[in-house]
Structure 1
Amino acid sequence: MYLAANDDMTGMFNRIEDILRNAGTMVAVIALLVLGIRMLLSMKRGDGMREAFQGFGMIALAALIIGGATGLASLLIGLGSDIGNGN
């Protein structure tokens, strides 16, 4: 996968935008999987709901920050492409 293989810059930015969008989605899915596994392991040990939700905040915050950053970068690339093409 070579990003600069296209002759024009628009194709390269579209490819980067797709990569960022997919990365943001992947981070959100992985965070949900990690949270689910932590909940299952915590409940299996016999801990209460409080212990099960202790690490929920930090994992969710990290996923939100990473997903938000990739979404914002994707949005800015799309805006720049629209401005550059005169649309």
Structure 2
Amino acid sequence: MPVTDAQIEEAVRIAREYGATRVVLFGSAMDCPEHARDLDLAVDGVEGWEFFRLGARIDRALGLPVDLVPLDPSTPFSRHVERWGRTLFHVA
């Protein structure tokens, strides 16, 4: 089942409800959505347990697995995602 633009938009909408200040798409849903089996998102602005609640909420709402990665604190992986991923939402 492909990942659709509508699913990605819904994930961003939910992330914004949780206070996300930035959402970055990466992985198979960015590179080849028609073959993606999950949605990989990096998120900034959601901390603690709310981060995990956000991941579970997106997963339930979309009906597909979601891999959620924090952008803060900065790590080599998060910097890679920021460089090569596609920013879907960012509050300046």
TM-score w.r.t. structure 1 length?
A: 0.31
Q: Which structure would you say has the larger RCO, counting Cα contacts within 8 Å and 6 or more residues apart?
A: 1
Which structure has the highest strand share of the two? 2
